[in-house]
Amino acid sequence: MFMVRTVRSCRPGKVGELVGRFRAVGEVMQSMGIAPFRLYTDVAGDPFWTLVAEHEYETLDAMQEVQTKVMSDARAQAAMAGYHDLVVSGRREIYKVES
């Protein structure tokens, strides 16, 4: 099992809009029978306006399959259209779940 966290630093004041977009993608995921992301926003830290989307996958291949399936859906594409305008930078963290 792998836990994947995608961390995005948003432009000032834009994290709420990005949360809304990820919630919309989560609804698409649920309609496909896929558990949605867990979403976290910073309370304090560096940088401000940070969004973390977390999801668990049985395998890394499963991660690729889910991403391809979800992002090939027109509803997910519409929800994420222009998302780069909200984000300054990002990174992906992949952890093997040990217990």
CATH of the domain at 69: 3.30.70.100
* Cα 50 to Cα 53: distance, rounded to the nearest angstrom: 10
Percent of the chain topping pLDDT 70:
100
User: Structure pTM?
Assistant: 0.91
Q: Determine the pLDDT at residue 67.
A: 95
Position 47 pLDDT exceeds 90: no
Q: Determine the pLDDT at residue 72.
A: 97
Number of domains observed in the structure of the chain: 1
* Cα 9 to Cα 93: distance, rounded to the nearest angstrom: 14
Span 39-56, mean pLDDT?
93
Q: CB–CB of 11/48 below 8 Å?
A: no
Residue 70, domain extent:
2-96
Position 11 pLDDT exceeds 90: yes
